[in-house]
Structure 1
Amino acid sequence: MAADQVVDPARLPRWPVLLALIALVASAFAVPWNHDEGQYVAATALVGRGLIPFRDFAYLQTPLQPFILAPLELAMPGWLYLGSRLANAAAVAVALMLLGRTAAVLAGDRRAGIAAVLLALVTDSVLFAGSVARNDALPFLFLVIGLERLYAVKDVGAGRAFIAGLAVAAAASTKISYAFPTAAIALQAAWACRRGDRPALALLAGSALATIPTLILFLLAPAQFLFGSCITAWTRSRPGRN
């Protein structure tokens, strides 16, 4: 493919992203405790102290988030819960910025980007992701990074495709439900590889690389990993379950 060529609608103004960040931070302070937050804050604290998910303690998701947020345990002792909420608010704000840019490029009009940011911000799932200390914000950010790398340019080079692969696989390694869009993107890339498409090969390479840490944790405690990240998630999602 040709070298990356960024389609150049006018750059997004700053105010939609600043508005989103202010709203998310305010919500992070205002939203009541959610019962699921405990496992994520506790897992981050334990990883920050050198323990390993699944091998040393139960964890009911794919395991990347505690490792990403573990430095907060050292940087904000005693304030990890609030720090995790604020980190998630920032992650969603960055995701909205990238989402807006991608929408503006695809539409060729920055008004589409502004609309995308504002419409996403007022959806319950996005606002909730940026308000609590769960594992909703980081995979959302990773998926949006992957989409921005793939769709915010006219021609996708191998470098952008590699980063996209890293990002979408990181999303699945943070929240198991993101395995579905990750698999769809990877299958599309695998199909393109039949034509010797270098960016598609780069995307698959990035995805494989980002999966290695999760694979290592699986090998350390396979039964615990499958129970925590797959069986429990499937059980909780069954229709009719109270």
Structure 2
Amino acid sequence: MSGEGTRCLQFGVGERASARSGVWIVPACFLLVAGWLVARALAAPLNHDESQYVAAAVLSGQSLIFRDFLSLQPPLHAWLLAPVAWAFAGDSFIALRMTSAAMGLVALAAVYAAQRGLGIGKWPALAATVLMAGCDAFQFTAAVVRNDMAPTMLLALGLLAALTGIRRGEYGWWAAAGLLFGLATSAKLSFAPPLAVAGLFLLAHVRDRRIGVAAVLAFGCGGLAGLVPMAIGYLAGPDAFIYGTLTFGSTAPFDWYRANGLHYRLAPSGKLGDLAYFAILGPTVAALALVGWDGVRRWRGEKLAGFSLEQRLLIALILAGLIGAYLPTPVQRQYLMPLMPPLFIALGAALAAIASRRGRAIALAVLGLFALFGFAKAGWPMLRAATHGAPAVVVDDQAEWIGDALRAQRLTGPVASLSPERLVDSGYPVDPRFATGPFVYRSGALVSPRDAERFRVLTAGTLFAALDRAPPAAILTGYEAGTRKFSIAPDAGLIAYARARSYRAVRLPDGIGVLHIRPQRR
């Protein structure tokens, strides 16, 4: 084995426990984390972003994305969740949240396995993995129905395959890595930088005997295969695909934030400030600092020779993750997820490289304090759920109440709402014209009436005419009524229509939602 490979496989060897000591600790920790993630998924407050993801998952089981309804995301995530929504009809919202938690656990397992494959000892590898779970971004994305945890899981698995490919020098692992990186991109576009950077990394190291031309070709073929879902989505509805995945994201957020007086969050300084703020909520910043310190130490010692091929790949992907986190506008906490797998694998190596017990204890204490803050922030909703009910269960029960109310009136047809996640388990179909939740509707001035009809969406300008052509059985409002941050209330148009067409308003059990029931035709 080359000296570089030997060095990589042996960092952290001093941290290894004996084969039989503490054999129970790893499964016990993962069991505890699994229980935490499940509880967190049940207790997390609803996030209105979930509207589009839940609707897309449910509708994808019965129609074709971009052809029959618009999506604002690449198609893979909806297709992955569609079987879950179908199998657990009636309890699909809870099942979809549990799926996010399960994906989070798989991502953590892949990060741990990648570290162990590099020769990092059990304890630093486990510590780095638990610290990743303590990040606010991870806690959030593992608890809600969004398209962040699926690509994070795929990226972590792809990293495991890539690092194994370097170690074994087998191009089959690179094909798997390319496939997984490509699939991550097909689930969320902000995961494209890791795919591109990994490809460039291979090209830059093509002369290394553990990579070679075969590995580059294998990764490229795998990456192309992973992008096939994107191609299928495009072919299903080219114009809708371009608008949903590219045009909307580059125009609508600017329109919405400026309309609400939040234009400062769109500037580079605002984005950097948001990125720093979200990174501080948990050990992300501390992990970056320690990994950076370890990199500087290695560079001072041996320059580039101080870094194994595996470490160079991790550094490249950390930079790619930072790019992926910064690209979307405005920056949100979930956009840190492309950074997580490479950063915390590298963190395990940095922890293992600390020679003194005192230095290691100080590093773990600082990281642990940040992680405790992340866990505490995520745990607060659990305490509230213990007295007020778990939001995921409450939504499920309330959807059943909606269904019972409509069945009592013997109504048929879809239900319209800017909050479709709250009615998917009612037994009534979601009006596909509201598949994007509030997002296209609230920035409807950017969509021409012709495009709105082509994309099968409604805007404030087309709402009355479109609903008159196909009146829904009911209209659910109350959850897009504006907030302290966003003063504009998108629900106002639907309420106006319901009143104008004599829909009967019924207050929901939570005291917030209002179900407008279509008048019976005589």
On whether the aligned pair clears a TM of 0.5, the verdict is yes
Measured after TM superposition, the shift of residue 177 of structure 1 is 0.6
Q: In 1, are the aligned partners of 2:66 and 2:237 still within 8 Å (CA)? A: yes
Q: Does 1:239 align with 2:266?
A: yes
1:194–1:226 CA distance, 2 compared to 1 (3 A): farther
1:194 and 1:62, CA in 2 relative to 1: closer, same or farther beyond 3 A? farther
The answer to whether residue 151 in structure 2 is matched with residue 135 in structure 1 is no
Q: Hey, what does 1:188 align to over in structure 2?
A: 201
Aligned pairs for 1:31-70 (under 5 A) are: 31-49=44-62, 51-70=63-82
8 Å contact from structure 2 (residues 71, 244) kept in 1: yes
Residue identity opposite 1:225 in structure 2: F
Contact 1:40-1:133 within 8 A present in 2 as well: yes
Matched letter for residue 17 of structure 1: F
How far does residue 107 in structure 1 lie from its aligned partner after superposition? 5.2
Deviation for aligned residue 1:108: 2.4
Partner residue, 1:176? 189
- How far the C-alpha of 1:191 sits from its partner, in A, is 4.3
Name the TM-score, length of structure 2 as normaliser. Answer: 0.43
* 3-state SS in 2 of match to 1:131: coil
- Displacement of 1:190 in angstroms is 4.0
Q: Quote the residue 1:25 is aligned against.
A: 38
Superposed CA deviations along residues 174-197 of structure 1, whole A, max 9, x for unmatched, are 011111111111222344557852
Shift of 1:74: 2.2
Aligned to 1:200: 216
TM-score, normalising length: structure 1: 0.89
CA contact (8 A) 2:114 2:163 kept: yes
Q: Does structure 1 retain, via aligned residues, the 8 Å contact 2:175–2:218?
A: yes
Superposition deviation, residue 103 in structure 1 = 2.3
Identify which range, 84-93 or 105-114, moves more after superposition.
Answer: 105-114
User: For the residues of structure 1 that align with 2:136 and 2:96, how far apart are their CA atoms?
Assistant: 19
Q: CA deviation at 1:73?
A: 2.4
Measured after TM superposition, the shift of residue 216 of structure 1 is: 2.2
Q: CA deviation at 1:206?
A: 0.6
Aligned equivalent of 1:164: 177
- Give deviations 1:191-228, integer Å, cap 9, x for gaps: 45578521221111111111122112213322211211
Name stretches of at least 5 consecutive residues in structure 2 with no aligned partner. 3-8, 11-15, 255-264, 268-329, 331-485, 487-522
Are positions 1:108 and 2:120 aligned together? yes
Please tell me the root mean square deviation across aligned C-alpha atoms, in Å. Answer: 2.5
Q: 1:91 maps to what in 2?
A: 103
Q: Name the CA distance, whole Å, in 2 between partners of 1:73 and 1:61.
A: 18
Note if contact 2:181-2:223 (Cα within 8 Å) is conserved in structure 1.
yes
Match of 1:214 in 2: 230
Paired with 2:203 and 2:58, the residues of 1 have a C-alpha distance of 38
* Alpha carbons 2:199, 2:220 under 8 Å: kept: yes
Secondary structure of 1:13's aligned partner? helix
Find the counterpart in structure 2 of residue 78 from structure 1.
90
Distance 1:83 1:23 in 2: 16
User: How much has 1:30 moved relative to structure 2?
Assistant: 0.4
The match for 2:240 is: 224
AA in 1 matched with 2:182: A
Summarize deviations over 1:62-103 as a string: whole Å, max 9, x none. Answer: 110111111112210111111110011001101101101212
Segment of structure 1 superposing worse, 14-23 or 187-196: 187-196
Are 2:176 and 2:219, in contact at CA under 8 Å, matched by a contact in 1?
yes
Is the alpha carbon distance of 1:54 and 1:16 closer, same or farther for their aligned partners in structure 2, counting shifts above 3 Å? same
Alignment match, 1:126: 138
Bigger mean CA offset, 216-225 vs 73-82: 216-225
SS in 2 for 1:134: coil
Deviations 1:97-148 (A, max 9, x none): 1101212333521112101211011101111111001111100000000101
Please say if residues 103 and 153 of structure 2, whose CA atoms lie closer than 8 Å, have aligned partners that are also in contact: yes
In structure 1, the partner of 2:157 is 145
Instruction: Output the amino acid matched with 1:76.
Output: F
1:233 shift after superposition? 2.7
**Structure number, greater radius of gyration:** 2
Count residues in correspondence. 237
* Distance (whole Å) between structure 2 residues aligned to residue 122 and residue 194 of structure 1: 39
Q: Secondary structure at the match of 2:48?
A: coil
What's the CA shift for 1:232? 2.3
How high is the sequence identity, in percent, across the aligned residues? 33
